[in-house]
Copies of this chain bind each other. A is one copy, B any other.
Amino acid sequence: MSIRIFVTGGTFDKEYNEITGQLYFKDSHLQEMFELGRCRVPVDIRTLMMVDSLEITNLDRELIAEHCNKAEEDKIVITHGTDTMADTASLLAQKVTGKTIVITGAMIPYKFGSSDGLFNLGSALAFVQTLSPGVYVAMNGQCFAADNVRKNKLTGEFEELSNSK
């Protein structure tokens, strides 16, 4: 069975508007990234929203959870802004059971050429195929359980709660 990909936006998909000089969202680059990676795992990509994760509300998170529950697939990768990725993971862990859900993102937009997104996407796709049901965050080559992860705002890296003060 194929793997479900839910796109919610985040730095992953940000682009540079050369007229205004602002960063903005247009289309998702997920399809292009899977092609670049010569991915042959069957994936089914659906965009749920296209926003900065600071703008994701709990209502949005409920919506994401609902989509996870209703999806036919039991393996799901979610692309998400890094700032509130841990919050979404936490809510999904409460609302969805029996599925393997891996949330990932990027620190640098894919379109800016030196993105960590392709690396993270490769790792997320591998983790979702191998881990037992549960909700995880895949960043920095690592995989964190939904209830034991936070983004270190100073370094931009993800870490276990138990390792941080």
Contacts and interface: CB of A to CB of B under 8 A. Distances in A.
B112 A36 contact: no
Nearest to A122: B122
B138 A126 contact: yes
Copies of the protein in its oligomer: 4
A40 B118 contact: no
B157 A40 contact: yes
A36 B119 contact: yes
Interface in A100-131: 107-109, 111-116, 118-127, 129-131
Contacts of A121: 119, 122
Contacts of A11: 18, 21
A59 interface: no
A41 B141 contact: yes
A122 B126 contact: yes
Interface of A: 11, 16, 18-19, 21, 23, 33-34, 36-41, 52, 107-109, 111-116, 118-127, 129-131, 138-143, 153-158
23 contacts: A16-B108, A16-B109, A18-B108, A19-B156, A36-B114, A36-B119, A37-B119, A37-B140, A37-B141, A38-B116, A38-B140, A39-B119, A39-B140, A40-B142, A40-B157, A112-B112, A122-B123, A122-B126, A123-B123, A123-B126, A126-B127, A126-B130, A127-B130
